[in-house]
Amino acid sequence: MKALISIDYTNDFIATDGALTTGFAGQSIEEQMVKVTDTFIKQGDFVVFAIDAHQAGDQYHPENKLFPPHNIIGTKGQDLYGALKQLHTQYQMNPQIYWLNKRHYSAFCGTDLDLRLRERCITEIHLIGVCTDICILHTAIDAYNRSYKIVIHQHAVASFDPAGHKWALNHFQNALGATVIC
């Protein structure tokens, strides 16, 4: 069994005026994000929207030293971007769609993702979204450590950092044994 983990395709990470935007790089994968997500939904697979979620004024969060406030829970910034938002709205009541607020880079960190996957006997996870070299990378590493088979959709991941994006795609294959597909 397989699942799609759709990571951080929100207004703050994608929109031109987003608080921590990947800009054109993120916007350019919109069509692929929708296409891959739609395919998984129609196949009846488990689809997880693993979305960065911060509380306003959380003084203990380690990202405070690194980034401006972003993806504050319940704000437009934490909402999905563009056509992916429309797709999620259409299917959000479907029990195979799961919204997961995550507090750290990895979708596994401090969440029930592993439990949700294992109770469905899912052994293969497909990753799409942003950023290739931050949240996708950390999620892939945690998946590797939990013995999941990992598939990365090359044209549905993006980063603000082209060198980091390229490095991460190599790392997925060469260090995590992931399959990188178009």
By CB under 5 A, is residue 52 in contact with Zn ion? Answer: yes
Smallest distance from Zn ion to CB 103, Å: 8
Smallest distance from Zn ion to CB 78, Å: 10
Quick check: 7 and 127 in contact, CB under 8 A? Answer: yes
Considering only residues 141-180, where is the footprint of Zn ion by CB under 5 A? none
Phi and psi, residue 48, nearest 5°: -110, 125
Smallest distance from Zn ion to CB 2, Å: 27
The region that residue 5 occupies, defined by phi over 0 for left and psi between -120 and 50 for alpha, beta otherwise, is beta
Phi and psi, residue 163, nearest 5°: -70, -40
Annotate each residue in 4-43 with x if it binds Zn ion (CB under 5 A) or - if it does not, as one string.
Answer: ----------------------------------------
Nearer to Zn ion, 34 or 141 (CB): 141
DSSP 18: -
Smallest distance from Zn ion to CB 1, Å: 29
Measured between alpha carbons, how far is 168 from 29 in angstroms, rounded to an integer? 17
**What residue ranges bind Zn ion (CB under 5 A)?**
52, 63
